[in-house]
Amino acid sequence: MANDSSDKDFHGKTAEDIVPLARDGNTEAKYIMKKVSNNIAILIMNLIFTFDPDTIVIGGGLSEAFDIIYPYIDEYLNENFPEEFRKKFKIVKNELAGDVGLLGSLGIKSKGRDHTLKAVIFDHDGVMVFSENAHRLAFTNVIKKHFNKELTDGQYKFFFQGRTDHDGFKNYLENIGQPIQKIDTLISESSQEYITTYAQRVSPNMEAIELIKKLHDLNIPIGIATSSSRREVETSLRVFNIERCIDTCITANEIVHGKPSPEIYIITATRMNILPDECLIIEDTPVGITAAKEAGAKCLAITTTHASPQLSEADYIRGELNEDDILGIMQRKTK
């Protein structure tokens, strides 16, 4: 009965409430953390059987409780895995950003083996479409309407470019000392303006559109991973008639942490049943490149929105997209 009452006592509590109590030895808090840890261990087992990685990365809010949950996870896995099998992988805390995001908090890194790339994941804005001006004008008009402030080009690049609308508005509002309660309204109004003016302000990157069609014809899996909303991306897919070409599309609507967190790329690869390091990711922003590299993928950056020096963390930098170039990269042995 003690265990049943513990759940009631902690109903509505967050990890921030429970973890310190568990560290202090509170029996009920430790019981709850063990249950959470066992569920995480089950997810880890599924990842091991599906992807055979050599490293499981614990991030998100769970990384803050790593010292509490790891012993329980390790105990559960040791009880359910043969010793020789358990030695094949390790579990580590994400020390970089605390927000690796497969299933919200788990990431994977594959073995350092020679392999070729199997899939291509495209960013949307700046890669598939030239839409930065459309987004900037939509944000500018909404900010002007609600706060009577001008959004400068520098502010747009710093707060919004390459990031989810939620992250962009949140960081901008905090910077100007405004409450963040209006975020949903700001996102809705700016997205509506973007869609309404799509035909006038957005143009396709035909190199990317044609590349997507050719990769599809070659049966190469194609994903989209973008900080834009699903509604905005689906508009592009419909207008350019490439819906049939896309195997997986993950947008700002499906993630917790936006770029530069690797969450979106880890989830996109997982949905395609492919390891992140088996993907070539095409990006155009520094935050997107960081997300791609932290996911363990290869990244090709195109100079549509940033100059080459700003994209130096990418594995490849190109001024244009070329089918033969992309296929050549994918056929190279990599680790």
Look at 9-13, 75-79, 125-129, 212-216 and tell me which has the smallest mean pLDDT: 9-13
**End-to-end Cα spacing for the chain:** 52
pLDDT attached to residue 80? 75
Structure pTM? 0.69
| Residues 125/228, Cβ–Cβ less than 8 Å | yes
Mean pLDDT of 51-78: 80
The tally of CA atoms less than 13 A away on the side-chain side of residue 279 is 35
Mean pLDDT of the chain: 85
| Residues 131/208, Cβ–Cβ less than 8 Å | no
pLDDT attached to residue 108? 67
Residue 96, helix vs strand vs coil: coil
Does residue 150 surpass a pLDDT of 50?
yes
The tally of CA atoms less than 13 A away on the side-chain side of residue 229 is 16
15 or 38: which leads in pLDDT: 38
Does residue 18 surpass a pLDDT of 70?
yes
Q: Is 217 exposed, middle or buried (0-12, 13-18, 19+ CB in 10 A)?
A: exposed
**pLDDT tens-digit profile of 199-212?**
899 999 999 999 99
Q: Which pLDDT band holds residue 1 (cuts at 50, 70, 90)? A: very low
Does residue 7 surpass a pLDDT of 50?
no
Q: Which pLDDT band holds residue 52 (cuts at 50, 70, 90)? A: confident
Mean pLDDT of 296-300: 93
Q: What are phi and psi of 93, to 5 degrees?
A: -90, 140
Does residue 134 surpass a pLDDT of 70?
yes
